[in-house]
Amino acid sequence: MPEVRKEYHWDRLITCYANRPANVNALMARSFARSPEAVAVVDGGVRLTYTQLDVLVGRLAVALARRGVKPGDRVAVMLNNQKEAVIGVLAISRIGGVLVPLGTRLRGPEIEYIFADAQPVAILYAPAFAAELPASGPAPAMRFDVGGPVWAAMLTGGEGAATDAAPTAQAAVEADQHDAFGILYTSGTTGKPKGAVLTHLNVVHSCLHWEDAHQLTSEERTLVCVPWSHVAGLCGVVLPFLGLGGTLALMAEFKRRDFLALAQRERITHALMVPAMYGLCLLEPDLETFDLGAWRIGAYGSAPMPEPTIQRFAQAFPKLQMCNCYGATETTSPATMMPRGDGVLHAESIGRTVPCGDIRVMDEGGVELPAGEEGELWIGGPMVVPRYWRNPEATAASFVAGYWKSGDIGAVDAQGYVRIADRKKDMVNRGGFKVYPAEVESVIAGIAGVVEAAVIGHPDEILGESVIAFLNVTPDALAGLDEAAVRSYCATRMADYKVPERVVIGVAQLPRNANGKIQKADLRQTAKTLPTLSAPRPSRKVQAP
């Protein structure tokens, strides 16, 4: 293990790697210098070496700086898993900007909220998402369409951009390790997204944790099939593997057969996926015919992996080591990782705490519990973000004595293996995407005639959990409101993975306890009695009151 030491950062005394790059730019510069001719990015038929990537990043960095993007300015990016996203992320960092990733499934009202909170000065986006971007209000003044002529000029030397890598020094900024690298929005139980501020110190340590815990080298080849704009894709795949000098093979949309074919063609050694993706791969009848002999590490997270899935992958690919990981946006991706080779033996565990991390199991009174006993997981370490953006109340509620209160109930055994027992927070995990019921309930409440709504998760064989909404509506609204209409209303206002698969509509009050709190446990029992999903019915148009 590399040398570690105690350091004081923010209000915390934490364990840090003693010898580490000063910031993300220094981490990337290391790869540009030692692997200049190695392939950095594969995007369809395009292959970029580290030298080529460095040049493109430099050109865009200079162009953005000359157009007025200053250190500390927020820059939003709404792109698929594509080379332009990688170039944009590194260019923003190079000039000291703060990345604000936007998931490509977000809808107009969600994006408008993020714009109003983060106040980005610019956005890089693909033409396919233009219709969702607010045209006024808090929308950034500078908009760069990656399919347009201005973007092309920025990357080819026009528009005041550098024509080679050398002139980028005029735009490069030596970021302090406490400077913000990015603001990633994560929804909460209040329904309002919170912007977790990821610093350079956080991101560098997250990258080094992957390298250290899984003993990765510059020869690694990974397939990016989870969204780069989420913390797992950005800080679990893109930045760690570029920081190693490895190769990223980008996949814009996960399709199981395409994944297997690309993994075979690129001879991948690593992939990070959600369990649902592994489950889908197992549906391929000729799975064993794919030559994936180079694939050594099958990392997964965001949801439990069914033990039969682990066993079947072990049978299909004997060299593949399944490794569970656990983390959150607030922990800059991993807080635990399964040691290589332990995935089958400890299938019920989410791994061990990352090398510089610290996990404590606490009771309701803030007292640490003994090994094996269940309580809330409090997570500390250099990967834990210092705060939420412009939200001191949420920061004070979630961060205590240098630890982030995860809201997850679990235990740590005597050997250091961490297990999740339940979620304290009312969150649904749908195929690796986190859905907070309060956010969905808030949108549904905007439908005319809806008295109250309650959203729960229901077990799903493929996605882990599905989203079910129970509605109490007025008698007048009942005749003109159906399941398809509610789903259609939601689909225009939120990401598709948040839209309920089932909507149960009635005039009876939702079950409550003596204190008036909706009893979601009762609704989960009701959900078990619902008929199998049927074909969608014709939708009726619904209105907000």
CB contact at 8 A, 293 and 247:
no
CB contact at 8 A, 320 and 292:
yes
- Mean pLDDT on 454-469: 91
Is residue 535's pLDDT more than 50? no
- Mean pLDDT on 275-290: 88
Measured over the CA atoms of residue 49, residue 52, residue 55 and residue 59, the dihedral's sign is negative
Q: What type of residue is 313?
A: F
- Mean pLDDT on 504-522: 83
Tell me, what's the pLDDT at 317? 87
List Cα–Cα distances, 335 to 94, 330, 351, 401, 448, in angstroms: 27, 10, 9, 17, 43
Tell me, what's the pLDDT at 342? 81
404-418 per-residue burial string, b: 16 or more CB within 10 A, e: under 16 = bbbbbbbbbeeeebb
d(CA 359, CA 441): 32
- If we measure between CA atoms, which residue out of 512, 518, 503 comes closest to residue 467? 503
Higher local confidence (pLDDT), 441 or 347 = 441
Query: Quick one: how far is CA 179 from the chain centroid?
Result: 21
Query: What tens digit of pLDDT does each residue of 223-236 get?
Result: 999 999 999 999 99
- If we measure between CA atoms, which residue out of 431, 427, 425, 453 comes closest to residue 497? 431
Q: What angle do CA 209, 393, 104 make, to 5 degrees?
A: 55
For residue 321, the surrounding DSSP H or E stretch is strand 321-328
Tell me, what's the pLDDT at 164? 45
Q: Which residue has the tokens 């260019």?
A: 91
- Mean pLDDT on 275-287: 87
CB contact at 8 A, 362 and 368:
yes
Higher local confidence (pLDDT), 38 or 407 = 38
Tell me, what's the pLDDT at 1? 74
Residue 161: band (very low, low, confident or very high) from pLDDT cuts 50, 70, 90: very low
Percent above pLDDT 90 for the chain:
72
Residue 539: band (very low, low, confident or very high) from pLDDT cuts 50, 70, 90: very low
Q: Reduced to 3 states, what is the DSSP secondary structure of residue 326?
A: strand
Percent above pLDDT 70 for the chain:
92
Is residue 286's pLDDT more than 50? yes
Is residue 107's pLDDT more than 90? yes
Residue 362: band (very low, low, confident or very high) from pLDDT cuts 50, 70, 90: very high
Token pair in block for residue 144:
């760069």
- If we measure between CA atoms, which residue out of 209, 202, 200 comes closest to residue 356? 209
Residue 49 CB-density burial (10 A; 0-12 exposed, 13-18 middle, 19+ buried) = middle
Contacts of the segment 4-13: beta carbons below 8 A, 24+ positions apart = 4/355, 4/356, 7/382, 9/178, 9/201, 9/382, 9/386, 10/178, 10/386, 10/402, 11/402, 12/380, 12/402, 13/402
Is residue 160's pLDDT more than 70? no
Q: State the average pLDDT for the chain.
A: 90
d(CA 108, CA 116): 12
Least confident of 176-180, 317-321, 332-336, 381-385: 317-321
Higher local confidence (pLDDT), 65 or 136 = 65
- pTM equals 0.88
- Mean pLDDT on 189-213: 91
- If we measure between CA atoms, which residue out of 356, 340, 299, 336 comes closest to residue 412? 336
Residue 119 CB-density burial (10 A; 0-12 exposed, 13-18 middle, 19+ buried) = middle
- Mean pLDDT on 250-263: 96
Domains and CATH numbers, the chain: 428-527 (3.30.300.30)
DSSP state of 167: G
Positions of E strands within 207-274: 221-224, 247-250, 270-273
